[in-house]
Amino acid sequence: MTSTQLQNDIERHFAAGPKAIDDQTAMEVFLLFRAALENGEVRSASPDPASPTGWRVNAWVKRGILLGFRLGVLTEFPAAGFSFVDKSTFPMRHFSSGDGVRLVPGGSAVRSGAYVARSVVCMPPMYINAGAWVDEGTMVDSHALVGSCAQIGRRVHLSAAAQIGGVLEPVNACPVVIEDDVLVGGNCGVYEGAIVRKGAVLAAGTILTRGTPVFDLVNGEILRAQGEMPLIIPENAVVVPGSRAIAPGKGHALSQEWGLSLYAPVIVKYRDDKTDLSTTLEDLLR
């Protein structure tokens, strides 16, 4: 089945609403669709130089994932003495040595419908949700989360406890995108469709959301999400957690009296040879 045929069938069964539940053809189409997700043949967002963000949202793919939730029924999935209950359409993925993925023992899980490329390293415990895309050479470290539909590029390091949000709904919204060669430090959080460009470094504890302004000290700019444009961290930017004074207005006097400030991520520099030297340990760990 071609990608166009698969898209047309997914759109048709999704539009059928609850009627699709009793349609065996709908389940057959979904299983083909889920396999295409896992093989990397389709994805919820794709690179697109013509787009203002550099990414194109494939809303039909998100509808396909939602169709799977509609078609599935609660099912028990026993695993290593534990009992899990989830929709029958999204069991845990199983890997073999032929897949070329290092899934280290210790409580990790990858949900069906996620694409995990060869040479990806999964350190326990971590979780990759349905619809996510994790490309070659990436390390998903302990306690890291890759949310549904999140797009993770090549040679990315998601450090311990990094949280990458997804964005499954609304279907036309861009998911979180972490482009190639990004280093996401420990306890970072990237949410609400933020895009982190190639080579950027997020220092430990950096939080990025749609409502988070980012202060670029190098260029004297404040980066924000505007309209349909998400928050975008520039290529090779080095972002650290910072703080800023509370603006004049209600509560300003109290904030001064109490010594309060607001969280503010700050771009302190752009990646150079010295920054790269600090990340060479990544290659040794793989």
97: in domain: no
pLDDT tens digits along 146-204: 999 999 999 999 999 999 999 999 999 999 999 999 999 999 999 999 999 999 999 99
pLDDT of residue 196: 98
50: in domain: yes
Do 46 and 109 belong to one domain? no
Looking at the structure of the chain, the number of domains it has is 2
Do 160 and 23 belong to one domain? no
pLDDT of residue 284: 46
23: in domain: yes
173: in domain: yes
pLDDT tens digits along 201-252: 999 999 999 999 999 999 999 999 999 999 999 999 999 999 998 877 777 7
Examine the pLDDT at 97 and tell me if it is beyond 60. yes
Tell me the CATH number at 14: 1.10.166.10
114 or 279, higher pLDDT: 114
Do 113 and 240 belong to one domain? yes
pTM of the model: 0.93
Over residues 2-7, the mean pLDDT reads: 93
Tell me the CATH number at 160: 2.160.10.10
Do 113 and 223 belong to one domain? yes
Examine the pLDDT at 144 and tell me if it is beyond 60. yes
Do 166 and 247 belong to one domain? yes
Note the residue count of the chain.
286
78: in domain: no
86: in domain: no
Do 155 and 44 belong to one domain? no
Examine the pLDDT at 133 and tell me if it is beyond 80. yes
pLDDT tens digits along 11-68: 999 999 999 999 999 999 999 999 999 999 999 999 999 999 999 999 999 999 999 9
pLDDT of residue 211: 94
128 or 78, higher pLDDT: 128
Do 58 and 140 belong to one domain? no
Examine the pLDDT at 257 and tell me if it is beyond 60. yes
79: in domain: no
Do 41 and 164 belong to one domain? no
Do 163 and 113 belong to one domain? yes
pLDDT of residue 58: 97
Report the relative pairing of strands 262-270 and 237-244 from DSSP bridges. antiparallel
Do 33 and 123 belong to one domain? no
204: in domain: yes
> Which of 71, 94, 123 represents a domain boundary (last residue)?
71
Query: Where residue 80 falls among pLDDT bands split at 50, 70, 90?
Result: low
> Which of 71, 90, 111 represents a domain boundary (last residue)?
71
Do 67 and 106 belong to one domain? no
Query: Where residue 282 falls among pLDDT bands split at 50, 70, 90?
Result: low
> Which of 21, 51, 71 represents a domain boundary (last residue)?
71
Domain residue limits at 187: 102-276
Do 189 and 259 belong to one domain? yes
Examine the pLDDT at 274 and tell me if it is beyond 80. no
